[in-house]
Structure 1
Amino acid sequence: MLKDTRQKILTAAIELFNSKGFTGTSVREIASKADVNVAHISYYFKGKGGLLEFLVSYYYEGYIKLIEDNYSLLQYSNVHAVLSKIILDILNYQHENRQLSRLVYREVTVDSILIREVMTTYLTKEKYYIKSLFEQGIKEGYYRKAFIPHLIIQLRSLLHTPYLQPQYMSEVLHIQSHEAYFVHQYYKELKIWLNSLLIESYSRNEKIAVIR
């Protein structure tokens, strides 16, 4: 019962924060939508701010773990295969947590103490792993030389934009990012971008990976 109450609060908060914004949502509205007592929010999360902090931390814990798990596969595989798998796993993770992904990515654009902490912990870890993969790929001759910060910007933009602009995706482009087929199709496009970084000798061998 206690776990059910906690989960109902989280589900209600994600929906309301997305539709009304964090500042536009009251604790009473969350409690009403979750059908719980207002006191439960203070008990579990120390208020609305603590609730947002939990959601952001929860999201990035899973996000960073999947990157770390794939990074550990470098001892068995090559850097290009590992980076490709990270991209696919992030796409799947975002799709499985669509509303939370949208909320978290939007909140990260707002300057606050919480987001500064996220920047110095989770996002610094993300940068470390992705930067290391690009550096190793260039060093080992997989990827052409490039300014790595720009590659990181491009990759993160390609991965996150569908969840930062869901209305634009659906209303203007008529792409339904919540549908299961979206991940499969979009992954193929991201593989084309990643394969474009390969040097000529590897590019021939990796073409088949684009259609997997």
Structure 2
Amino acid sequence: MKKNSKDAIVNAAISLFNSNGFSGTSIRDIAELAKVNTATIAYYFDNKLGLLEYCFTSFFEQYISKIEEAYTLIDQGAKGCLKRVVANLLHYQCEHNHLASVVYREMSIDSQVVREIMSTYSLKEKYYFQKIFEKGFEWNEFRPHSIPYLIIQLKGLLMMPYMNTHYLREVLYIFPNEPFFEQKYLKEINFWIEKTLSAEIKAKKEALI
């Protein structure tokens, strides 16, 4: 077997899943693009579902590690921690924009694989987001909000560009794979953090009354 055949299979699968969808892609399609035979795919991943599960796991293992890396500095402040988490996740998704698009699209379809991912990685993500928000409330950095609704908003901001890449490109002429997008969009999410969460804004408004 080729030394890099496994990587070639994964890259081909991501490309085809992204353009044709999981159900619209065959093992033969992946094999042809990766320049391997179907037996090689079976050797590494068993079948197409195993390949999708590998993509999910690979994506979320690194995704959670980006959150954990930022969370180690939570004692320096909840707002700063949240901004580091957002910067880490946005950069990771920009670097792996095709994989992010595949994962988010397929995660919207209920399946056994998706339920397994949600019972592990999604719960870990919720744990860290919840802890950051709770610390922010406790330390008076954030104004009180419903944590589930804050997570909905934050997840929406982080996921939307990769769930609707055709809309961004064809309607808004925005390209999530470009460095300029990452810089600009990070500023927008940080603006949401300041305006929605920051207790300093509330204190300033009250001082003016």
TM norm. shorter chain > 0.5: yes
Check the 8 A contact 1:195/1:203 in 2, yes or no: no
State the 4+ residue runs in structure 1 displaced beyond 2 angstroms.
200-204
> For residues 159 and 143 of structure 2, what CA distance do their matches in structure 1 show?
24
Kindly state the Cα deviation for residue 3 of structure 1 after the two structures are TM-superposed: 3.8
Map residues 35-114 of structure 1 onto 2, 5 A cutoff: 35-75=35-75, 77-114=76-113
- Give structure 2 stretches of 5+ with no counterpart: 205-209
Q: Residues 194 and 201 of structure 2 are in contact (CA less than 8 Å); yes or no, is this contact kept in structure 1?
A: no
Size of the alignment, in residue pairs?
203
After superposition, what is the alpha-carbon deviation per residue over 1:167-209, rounded to whole angstroms, capped at 9, x for unaligned?
A: 11111111122111100000001001001111137887xxxxx
* Cross-structure match for 1:28: 28
Q: Distance in 2 between matches of 1:126 and 1:69?
A: 13
CA deviation vs aligned residue, 1:7-34 (integer Å, no higher than 9, x gap): 1100110011111111111111100111
Match of 1:210 in 2: none
Higher RCO structure, 1 or 2 (CA under 8 Å, sep 6+): 2
- The equivalent of 2:125 in structure 1 is 126
Q: Is the 8 A contact 1:64 1:122 kept in 2?
A: yes
Whether the 8 Å CA contact 1:142–1:202 is kept in 2: the answer is: no
Task: Determine helix, strand or coil for the equivalent of 1:61.
Answer: helix
Give the TM-score taking structure 2 as reference length: 0.94
Alpha-carbon separation, structure 2, partners of 1:140 and 1:164 = 34
Q: Would the alpha carbon gap of residues 3 and 124 (structure 1) be closer, same or farther in structure 2, given more than 3 Å must change?
A: farther
Change (3 A) 1:16 1:201: closer
1:13–1:30 CA contact under 8 A, matched in 2: yes
Quote the RMSD (CA, aligned, Å): 1.4
- Unpaired runs of 5+ residues, structure 1, are 205-212
